[in-house]
Chains A and B, each alone.
Chain A
Amino acid sequence: MATETVAAEAAGAAHEAGSAGMPQLDFSTFPNQIFWLVVTLVVIYLILSRISLPRIGAVLAERKGAITNDLAAAEELKQKAVAAEQAYNDALARARVEAAKIVAEARAEIQKDLDAEMAKADAAIAAKAAESEGRIAEIRAGAMEAVTSVAMDTARELVAALGGTADAAGVNAAVSARLKG
């Protein structure tokens, strides 16, 4: 370390002999540096403020505008998509309601037809039943009459067979009385 400093000092001393220590403190070069610095700064400032900064600012603004526009367009399209979906859902719902209505109507109509047919069929059945009942009653009456006459005949025949004299009127009356009982 010591040798280093010695060497550095020696170098520094040699230097000092040449151009008075640090070049930074050589005041004779200051006007030169300051002049060229001012020239450089003015040139840089003019280049930047006249050409570059407006240009970059315009590009950035343009890009920002483009991005904003694109975002707005995307938002708009999204809104449209949402609206379209809404419309689709509405249409679907409406169609469903419509379908339900049509189904209900059809059902009602069918029900009405069915009721009418049912009523007609009931009426026909009732008519048929009434008719059949009439005929059954008729048949029953006929049968009863036949049973009565058969009973009277049988009774008379029985009386005759048993050796009695059959009084037709009396037998008949007895049979009728018995049948009623």
Chain B
Amino acid sequence: MATEAHSEGGLAFHPLDQFKIHPLFGEGPIQWYTPTNVTLWMALAVICIIALFVIGTRGRAVIPTRVQSVAELAYGFIYRMVEDVTGHDGVKYFPYIFTVFLFILFSNFLGLIPGSFTPTSHIAVTAILGFGVFIAVTVLGFVLNGAHFLGLFWMKDAPLVLRPIIAVIELISYFVRPVSHSIRLAGNIMAGHAVMKVFAAFAPMILISTIGVVVTPVSVLAITAIYGLEVLVAFIQAYVFTILTCVYLKDALHPGH
């Protein structure tokens, strides 16, 4: 153990360095307007979205090209999700939901490029998304339904004695929503990337110690497996965030369960 500990001193464990935010140009304090790696990778996400949804669809072909059919597929996927979950009157919020979905999806996938930065791994970003949805849905609920929106917390089909208790539970779960909504996304992405980085740190073991004959192949295999999982997670988390947004929106549009 002692020798191992000594040899591992040569390995570099910095699983969280990938989440560091630094200015793109020069050094110095990060002001709110400073172009940082956050700016860079968000801009790349925007460029990918432009490539897919503006350049890819510029033919407006009735028989689509491959890129256009991918764009149409994404459009149809989210459009149907919004329509299925929120009903027909939720369709007018589709552009907002699609914006959020595409941002998360492209941030997640661009983050899988080795050496990249993932904006959605930061709680600051996902909290703004989560609380943005929460505030928008709550305001919308009161604007559309007035006081009836509070019916969301008052179960009419529960026994009268239980109703206040259920109301309290519902109220707490309602305010926990944005927290779980945002931490779920940031946590998943961050954990996955950190785990990959930890395994990556073990990969050069073979250069340091003979035990590396075992450790290096295992860690390379593990990186591969986790990477595959992360590809899945990148899509699933974008999907989950979007469908939960739709579910919350449905509560605002039709609070009467």
Contacts and interface: CB of A to CB of B under 8 A. Distances in A.
Interface string B95-112: 110111011000000000
Interface string B61-97: 1101000100110011000000000000000001110
A56 B72 contact: yes
Nearest to B194: A22
The CB with the most chain B CB atoms within 10 A, among A48, A49, A58, A66, is that of A48
Given A8-B13, A40-B103, A52 B57 contact: yes
A157 interface: no
Contacts of A39: 42
B21 A45 contact: no
Contacts of A52: 53-54, 57, 71
A26 B21 contact: yes
A11 B36 contact: no
Contact of A60 (B29, B49, B75, B94): B75
B27 interface: no
B39 A55 contact: no
B137 interface: no
Contacts of A44: 45-46, 49, 99, 102-103
Given A15-B16, A41-B103, A33 B125 contact: yes
Interface in A38-63: 38-41, 43-45, 47-49, 51-53, 55-60, 62-63
B92 to A, nearest CB: 11
A7 interface: yes
Nearest to A44: B99
Interface in A1-33: 2-4, 6-8, 10-12, 15, 19, 22-26, 28-33
Contacts of A19: 20
Contacts of A37: 38, 42, 119, 124-125, 128-129
Interface residues of A, number: 48
B210 interface: no
A11 B9 CA distance: 10
B43 interface: yes
A39 to B, nearest CB: 8
Nearest to A28: B30
Interface in B1-55: 1, 4-5, 8-9, 11-17, 19-21, 29-34, 36, 38-39, 42-43, 45-46, 49-50, 53-54
A17 to B, nearest CB: 13
Interface residues of B, number: 61
Contacts of B257: none
A2 B8 CA distance: 12
A59 B60 contact: yes
Nearest to B9: A7
A47 B32 CA distance: 24
A9 to B, nearest CB: 9
Given A34-B124, A40-B45, A60-B72, A48 B4 contact: no
Contacts of A2: 1
B62 A62 contact: yes
B53 A47 contact: yes
A176 B93 CA distance: 143
7 contacts: A3-B5, A4-B8, A7-B9, A22-B19, A32-B31, A44-B102, A60-B72
Given A23-B122, A53-B95, A56-B75, 17 more contacts: A3-B8, A7-B11, A10-B13, A15-B16, A15-B17, A23-B19, A23-B20, A32-B33, A36-B39, A40-B45, A44-B49, A45-B95, A48-B49, A48-B95, A51-B54, A52-B71, A53-B94
Going nearest first, the 7 A-B pairs with the smallest beta carbon separation are A31-B32, A11-B13, A52-B53, A40-B42, A23-B19, A33-B124, A29-B21
